[in-house]
Amino acid sequence: MTLATGFDVAAVRADFPILARTVRDDKPLVYLDSGATSQRPLQVLDAERDFLLNRNAAVHRGAHQLAEEATDAYEYARSAIAGFVGAKVDEIVFTKNATESLNLVAYTLGDDRSAGLFGGRALGEGDTIVVTELEHHANLVPWQELARRTGATLRWYGITDDGRIDLDSLDLDETVRIVAFTHQSNVTGAVADVPELVRRARAVGAYVVLDACQSVPHMAVDFAALDVDFAAFSGHKMLGPSGVGVLYGKADLLQQLPPFLTGGSMIETVTMEGSTYAAPPQRFEAGVPMTSQVVGLGAAVDYLTALGMDAVAAHEHDLVVHALDRLTAIDGLRIVGPTDAVARGGAVAFDVAGIHAHDLGQVLDDEGVAIRVGHHCAWPMHRRFGVQASARASFALYNTITEVDALADAIGVAQKFFGADR
């Protein structure tokens, strides 16, 4: 097949020492689980190490040089991340992960102090929150809880037979206040029609919340151009550290939200009678933050920027095209999701007749191929397809065509082992 030109995957792999290790009786590691967590390049590890060795201090507090340097490094990362996703610096809030980011939005929108966002009346009975059946639990359960707390009704878009959001399954009306959906499914890999979903939300005056965990690491994303109101993504899925996530929010909306967590760092004034709160983003960053992790995420963004997200996306597209070609040729294998690479990312879920997903994963692991098996934090989506679990390979910029072939070959080994090739 013809591969994307100008992308040197061998040079990229050299930045990830873990990819050179062996597993299971000295087999080469084939890491196809980046949808769960990505590996980190030396540049990210070095940035974290340099920060801890040379400028480790609490940020936004202290008058000494280390504190100033730590704050500069922390805020540089915020600026780099903002530029990476088409945001203003004060629209980027650091959290501990995307799950916290989505909970922050859901919780604060349900606070009666956010009534101004809903025409002066707090979210409650008679209002509707819309999600999709395709969601990761992190973009479903917080909205279920918001509906429970406020008395609002939760409705959802269904899923098409090829694993995309079914835009014909739900009509929005004037009761809809919030529409939350995934940019790219962590199971089927389907990329949502964001412009159309935003258009529908705007037509009824609803706010849009985007789960961008699986899109930001793999394609060029501009939140301002997409016109979403809030978006969430995590560091550990985009070559960065675990323990750091990002919430994007339009500046004027963040300004109207009350705090999620309270304590140090997020205050303006404090008396025994009450407190006032800092402006965003500090309002939402209570306590001592995950400083070195933020610095590492800034380095990850610099790394991806240097490679170019269009080049990354083109390379990963080639991997998906080849994977779909190889996997759809395997008798008894069903792709759970689109079988073509149009508007599709690098998560490829599948099941194999006669082999439970967990058993399949074990044999693949014995062959050195690391994938994820289970429901992938998306139980409703799996129920829609009539399966309790699936196997999922998820590709990243450091994967190769040879590794795609290793996946397909290992599935063949599993079929022979379980007698499912007959």
Task: Report the catalytic residues.
Answer: 377
Check: CB of residue 131 under 8 Å from CB of residue 154. Answer: yes
Residues contacting residue 64 through CB under 8 Å, at least 6 positions apart: 57
Of the candidates 32, 8, 35, the one whose C-alpha atom is nearest the C-alpha of residue 19 is 32
> Which 3-state string (H, E, C) describes the chain?
CCCCCCCCHHHHHHCCHHHHCEECCCEECEECECCCCCCCCHHHHHHHHHHHHHCCCCCCCCCCHHHHHHHHHHHHHHHHHHHHCCCCHHHEEEECCHHHHHHHHHHHHCCHHHHHHHCCCCCCCCCEEEEECCCCHHHCHHHHHHHHHHCCEEEEEEECCCCCEECCCCCCCCCEEEEEEECECCCCCEECCHHHHHHHHHHCCCEEEEECCCCCCCCCCCHHHHCCCEEEEECCCCCCCCCCEEEEECHHHHHHCCCCCCCCCCEEEECCCCEEECCCCHHHCCCCCCHHHHHHHHHHHHHHHHHCHHHHHHHHHHHHHHHHHHHHCCCCEEECCCCCCCCECCEEEEEECCECHHHHHHHHHHCCEECEEECCCCHHHHHHCCCCCEEEEECCCCCCHHHHHHHHHHHHHHHHHCCCCC
Of the candidates 348, 347, 345, 349, the one whose C-alpha atom is nearest the C-alpha of residue 314 is 345
Sign of torsion, CA 268 76 17 10? positive
Q: Which two tokens stand for residue 284?
A: 């939402």
